[in-house]
Amino acid sequence: MLSGRRNHLSMSAIKHHLPLQVVLYCWKKEALMAKQDHPISPTALDALTVLGTQIAAGRRERRLTAEELADRAGISSQTLRSAERGAPTVSAGVMFELAVLVGVPLFSASDDELRDVRIRTADRLALLPQRVRESAVNDDF
């Protein structure tokens, strides 16, 4: 069932004789935007797209079908398609697991380097306060 806004878009597109592909693209874009609870920066979207593309390339290089990789990751084929497109609705855990399964290096590091980074980051985090309070200093000029 179309909402009033989407219905308005469709009627406007028909009135202006836009091609069906344009109408469907706009409708899909609005539908995706309606699902988001918060805005996602262009940089984050670019990073998701790059990771998704690397996952798709890794899958094809290993000659895995979408169903095979989805089964190995324990996800649906639709979730895999979304991940390969870089959809922001796919969880970070799923994206990372897919990357590991097809051999995409995470954070440009080998497994050993990634463990070292994890340990160093945990040590650094241990030195920082566990809670951060709002600053009492007014530094607005």
pLDDT in tens, 110-141: 888 888 989 999 999 999 988 888 877 776 66
pLDDT at residue 34 is higher than 70: no
Question: Does residue 18 belong to any structural domain of this protein?
Answer: yes
CB 80 within 8 A of CB 52: no
Residues 72 and 28 in one domain: no
Most confident of 10-14, 15-19, 126-130: 126-130
Residues 83 and 62 in one domain: yes
Overall average pLDDT of the 46-60 stretch: 95
Residues 26 and 46 in one domain: no
Backbone angles phi, psi at 102, to 5 degrees: -105, 5
Cβ atoms < 10 Å from Cβ of 56: 20
Domain region containing 29: 1-35
Residues 79 and 49 in one domain: yes
Q: 24-33, 73-82, 87-96: lowest mean pLDDT where? A: 24-33
Question: Does residue 49 belong to any structural domain of this protein?
Answer: yes
Residues 57 and 123 in one domain: yes
| Ordered DSSP codes for 45-97 | HHHHHHHHHHHHHHHHHTT--HHHHHHHHT--HHHHHHHHHT-TTS-HHHHHH
Residues 18 and 45 in one domain: no
Residues 13 and 62 in one domain: no
pTM: 0.65
Residues 109 and 69 in one domain: yes
Question: Does residue 135 belong to any structural domain of this protein?
Answer: no
How much is the pLDDT for 93?
96
pLDDT at residue 6 is higher than 50: no
Residues 49 and 109 in one domain: yes
Report percent pLDDT > 90 for the chain.
50
